[in-house]
Amino acid sequence: MAINPFTSFVFDLFIFSAIIITAYTVNFYYLAILARTRKEPYPTVDWGTPTVTIQLPIYNEKYVAKRLVDAVCNLDYPKDKMRIMVCDDSDDDTVELLGNLIDDYKKQGFQIEHVRRGTRIGYKAGALKHAMKTTDTDLVAIFDADFIPPDWFLKRAIPHFSSSKIGLVQCRWGHVNENYSTITQVQALSIDFHFLVEQKAKSNSHLFMNFNGTAGIWRRACIEDAGGWHTATLVEDLDLSYRAQMKGWKCLFLPDIVVEAELPAQMNGAKRQQFRWAKGSIQCAIKLLSDVALKRNVAIEAKIQAFIQLTRHIVYPLVLIQFLALPVLLAGQVNLYVVNVLPVLTIALYLAMGPGAFLIVIHGMYDKSWKSKAKLLPALLVYNAGMAVNNTVAVFDAVLGKKNEFHRTPKYGIVTKQDDWRNKAYNLPFTQTTLLEIFFGVYGIMGIFIAIFSNNPVFVPIIALQAIGFFYIAYLSISHTRFKRNKSSDNRPKTKKEKMANTVYKLSMIGILGIIIFGGYMAISGYNSDIYPLDRIRGNLDGIMTSSDPNVIRNHLVAIQADLDILMVSLPETVDSEGKVISRNPVWLFGTESTNFLRIQNNINTMLAGIDEISSISKENSAYHTGMLDINDRALILKINIMDATPYMYVSLANMMMSAIWIAAIIGIFAALKRKKEQLNKLDE
């Protein structure tokens, strides 16, 4: 059956997105196979005790800074061979805390220094670049503030520099607070996928792997040969490791050396971290891909995998495109089944490509403990689906060249379930991205109704999974929001301004909840008045085409007339020079006669008159059969016209105005919250 140009374009976009997403998914499974090909232990060499500088980039980390410095100073390594540089760009209580702590360790004979630049230019990359000016040791180890290196770390990791071409040894991240909440558990699983599949596969082969920014050791000569730390992107670690490998250096991943770290416990912190990774990867793609493609000594497969790794976050915009397109295609009665007669095969294919294959990967990663990890897979799918909006914004930020600002992921020293972060400094408020997440969640509810009423219930789980993800991320973003002045003491009484900010926050939460409920009600009401009548008309037209009883056909036509009367009221009309209405068309811009509901109504009236004439003719008369064929042909044409018009009912002027009002109301609430946040920031300054 032919479809209109708009639906055809949406269908092409849907299929294109599906092909690209499938390609990235299949590549992940290819890496999972590659990760299991190497069984022999990584080679080591007795390199003695080379000199090593341990660089600790820190910015406002008063809850975890001491824990890190204590762990580093507890490393089992000769003091005269180990230099510690605390690269502290903080502007809060962290400065004093570290100053006192470093003085104590200096008295104990440690080569430790408190490096203060007096600026945040270049952020973390700028701090590391500044530290390299005075670094003269053989090796450079780097730990972020939330990491806790074990005392044996250097003695076990350094011997893996067995070849002079190894420029980096990257160790696996552990998770000190993995069981704190569902959020931390799914983050841990996602990070393990990266290390135990992607990093392991690339380290085992000639493919490019990346430095993860921490829990790794560099050969100083490698950093200098690759051009040092650059500040042009938000992922300086990925940037430097790719430049090093283009120079011929080898990066090695050690899955058996695990360094515990703290996972973000607050949703807004997790979103900030994901945003930085997504935006930085696309920035690196823009900066490095042409150089990788032109390098003659880089294998074709390595070039392809570099492209996939650096651009993989474009999957998130494609997921949103598919999410937006699916209800439109279902409303337009476009067939999306893998096999026409077996719609269940469609959902089976989704399960096989997604959860089914992931279970196999999880089994290979965790062996005996895989069942406990597998239970987290539904939560991970919901989490990743909900993060699509946040990461899509990051991708567009990178593509459009929006100014870089390195926003750190705050940590709170969370280890056990009894630890609490809610009343501590550094808490982040939700952002405007939450508005988009709510919008996509409401759109998903509409999509579920469309799937049901268009007789495509097999797509309901797919739409529902994503809609739940959007609402879940939005809910936690809002519920995890706290207003607190970040640079002051945790135990001081709240100021009048802070109390007012919390009141505004609570009222805003009530307002947003009310707007969401109102938006959901309007969406369901709009569907019932604008879209559901079209579904009933299609059903009645099907009834006409399958019936040969004039009375039954007449009842269908009368029902269609009633639904058309409901629809005609809300459709924009066109009048001629004499003031006569000549068109009522949902396609308010460049409308065609095929979607003119006035013409459709006239056709129904003609069919009613025709069926009345047929009713008075004997069934044995040839005129009876000719008349019934004419009724059937008209019904088929009208069904196609109704299907062409359906997608445009969603974008009517009334719907667009209501959507604009709905979005404006939420933006207004965001603006009020932002003003209160700025007032608190001014007090801090």
Q: How far apart are CA 26 and CA 20, in angstroms?
A: 10
Q: How far apart are CA 263 and CA 247, in angstroms?
A: 33
Q: How far apart are CA 238 and CA 243, in angstroms?
A: 9
User: Would you call 89 a catalytic residue per the annotation?
Assistant: yes
User: Would you call 630 a catalytic residue per the annotation?
Assistant: no
Task: For the chain, report the end-to-end CA distance as a whole number of angstroms.
Answer: 65
Q: How far apart are CA 406 and CA 2, in angstroms?
A: 50
Let me know if 261 is exposed, middle or buried by CB neighbors in 10 A (0-12, 13-18, 19+): buried
Let me know if 247 is exposed, middle or buried by CB neighbors in 10 A (0-12, 13-18, 19+): middle
Count the Cβ atoms, other than its own, within 10 Å of residue 675. 11
* C-alpha distances in Å from residue 540, one per residue of 451, 537, 619, 639: 19, 5, 23, 9
Which residue(s) pair with 333 in the sheet?
A: none
Residue 630 one-letter amino acid: D
Count the Cβ atoms, other than its own, within 10 Å of residue 646. 26
Interstrand relation of 52-58 and 82-88 (parallel, antiparallel or unpaired): parallel
Of the candidates 237, 239, 530, 535, the residue annotated as catalytic is 237
Q: Is the distance from CB of 421 to CB of 414 less than 8 angstroms? A: yes
Q: What is the 3-state secondary structure (H, E, C) of 224-275?
A: HHCCCCCCCCCCHHHHHHHHHHHCCCEEEEEEEEEEEECCCCCHHHHHHHHH
Q: How far apart are CA 392 and CA 24, in angstroms?
A: 16
Q: Is the distance from CB of 397 to CB of 279 less than 8 angstroms? A: yes
Tokens in use for 204? 């085992």
Among 34, 57, 674, CA closest to 408: 57
Among 457, 441, 440, CA closest to 449: 457
H helical segments located in 377-495: 377-386, 388-399, 433-453, 460-479
Q: How far apart are CA 180 and CA 186, in angstroms?
A: 11
Chain centroid to CA 45: 42
Q: How far apart are CA 168 and CA 309, in angstroms?
A: 19
Q: How far apart are CA 635 and CA 624, in angstroms?
A: 17
Count the Cβ atoms, other than its own, within 10 Å of residue 347. 17
Of the candidates 89, 93, 192, 535, the residue annotated as catalytic is 89
Q: Using CA of residue 659, residue 665, residue 668, residue 669, what is the dihedral sign?
A: negative
* C-alpha distances in Å from residue 537, one per residue of 310, 317, 455, 543: 49, 35, 14, 10
Q: Which residues contact 608 (CB under 8 A, 6 or more apart)?
A: 554, 557, 558, 561
Q: Using CA of residue 180, residue 181, residue 187, residue 190, what is the dihedral sign?
A: positive
DSSP string for 492-530:
SPPPHHHHHHHHHHHHHHHHHHHHHHHHHHHHHHHIIII
Catalytic site positions? 89, 237
